[in-house]
Amino acid sequence: MLKTIDSLGELRGKRVLVRADLNVPLDGTTITDDGRIRAALPTLTRLVEAGARVVVISHLGRPKGAPEEKYSLRPVVGRLGELLGQEVAFATDTVGSSAQEVVAGLEDGRVAVLENLRFNPGETAKDDAERAAFATQLAALGDAFVSDGFGVVHRKQASVYELATELPAAAGELVLAEVESLRKVTDQPERPFVVVLGGAKIADKLGVIDSLLGKADRLLIGGGMAYTFQKAKGYEVGRSLLDESKLDVVREYMDRAEKNGVELVLPVDTAVAPEFSADAPATVVAVDAMPADQEGMDIGPETAKLFGEKIADAATVFWNGPMGVFEFEAFAKGTTAVAEVLSKAPGYTVVGGGDSAAAVRTLGFDESLFSHISTGGGASLELIEGKDLPGISILEEDNS
């Protein structure tokens, strides 16, 4: 059991540090998808209504331990204020004079945001002592800690792990909801249990496939990772994404799926193009007829239909990774088709964060049509895989 906000007692007047995940995509200073900000609202609203002095901490992008203007959280502050219905204060550093001054000036029920945590090298340092030192500085700004950035709970970082050892700590509403929803998939899923995996890098999903070969009833493989499977079956994949080093592993997985009675479903056709661009001319070919000078960009219509049939009767579905280059309109059909089927499926449907969640929103689907849309791609995959997530284990009741 995870410790909840209730375990923190009376919060009025207390400074509560909230580790949120406000790592939103930006076009310059314009937020192109505010999903992660909205996901933080239940916890922040609860704390505001309890009269806490709320100090939000987060990262954005991947700065190298020093300030970079393009990674500033400043654009997020305005949007967060709009959603909360109050002006949100902003500190221009993480633990320096601005942070100390802003936190000191907070009144009950008000919210402040500190600058990008990753502007400080201690946040992501590999050295335990360096992370602990930064966590101690952060802890000095608060009386309690709420961990609500599900997208980073698989990372052993100062604001995720060490900070929870410095202050009375609890899981926020988002983290609780994420863990509960994903454990419905991992612990005792209702069957048929269907997993749809896509995305570019097969290496990112190998551990998940390995784990699911003993749990899932059907495993549907699309996206860039499918070409390694097709190559392992002896097909030409042209200039498509391919991880030659994983061919033997993939062959072993295909053999094990057959032995375990897991239905491993691969594409039967592919949308190809002569180059990776939005306006490249698209051609649909069978998987055994891919031209050597073309690149696979999306699953084809027959595959979309096949995948739809394999999903339609599922009692539980977990989807992680787009079926193609959905950012290009011509190659978004496969991902759209999978999202469409999931949105109408009667079973328990989970979209596993990352690009899949971005695709659902970008393609205009009503998020309420899915049982759960995770905010953490990597974290959701590791939880599904059965790995220990540092930011979750540190919040377990027996860690008090």
Task: Take residue 38 and report the two structure tokens written for it.
Answer: 């909205």
Q: Does 354 count as an annotated binding residue?
A: yes
- Please check whether residue 394 lies inside any domain of the structure: no
Q: Does 298 count as an annotated binding residue?
A: no
pTM to 2 decimal places: 0.89
Going from the C-alpha of 133 to that of each of 16, 130, 330, the distances in angstroms are 19, 5, 50
pLDDT, tens digit only, all 400 positions of the chain: 999 999 999 999 999 999 999 999 999 999 988 989 999 999 999 999 999 999 999 999 999 999 999 999 999 999 999 999 999 999 999 999 999 999 999 999 999 999 999 999 999 999 999 999 999 999 999 999 999 999 999 999 999 999 999 999 999 999 999 999 999 998 889 999 999 999 988 888 898 999 999 899 999 999 999 999 999 999 999 999 999 999 999 999 999 999 999 999 999 999 999 999 999 999 999 999 999 999 999 999 999 999 999 999 999 999 999 999 999 999 999 999 999 999 999 999 999 978 888 889 889 999 999 999 999 888 999 998 888 999 999 999 875 4
Cα-flanking dihedrals φ and ψ of residue 394, to 5°? -70, -15
Q: What is the pLDDT of residue 399?
A: 58
Residue type at 284 in one-letter notation: V
- Residue 296 belongs to a domain with what CATH number? 3.40.50.1260
Sequence-distant (6+) residues with CB within 8 A of 113 are 22, 55, 56, 57, 58, 73, 76, 77, 80, 88, 89, 90, 91
Q: What is the pLDDT of residue 307?
A: 98
Q: Is 354 left (phi over 0), alpha (psi -120 to 50) or beta?
A: left
Task: Estimate to the nearest angstrom the gap between the alpha carbon of 205 and the chain centroid.
Answer: 13
Q: Does 21 count as an annotated binding residue?
A: yes
**Interaxial angle between packed helices 333-344 and 301-312, expressed in degrees from 0 to 180 and rounded to the nearest 10:** 20
As a whole number of Å, the end-to-end CA separation of the chain is 12
Q: Does 176 count as an annotated binding residue?
A: no
Q: Does 353 count as an annotated binding residue?
A: yes
- Please check whether residue 398 lies inside any domain of the structure: no
- Please check whether residue 249 lies inside any domain of the structure: yes
Domain count along the chain: 2
DSSP letter for 345, please: -
- Please check whether residue 395 lies inside any domain of the structure: no
Name the residue range of residue 144's domain: 5-172
Whether residues 153 and 203 share a domain: the answer is: no
Whether residues 186 and 92 share a domain: the answer is: no
Whether residues 212 and 340 share a domain: the answer is: yes
Q: Does 79 count as an annotated binding residue?
A: no
Other C-beta atoms closer than 10 Å to the C-beta of 118 total 25
- Please check whether residue 396 lies inside any domain of the structure: no
Residues tagged active-site: 36, 201, 354, 378
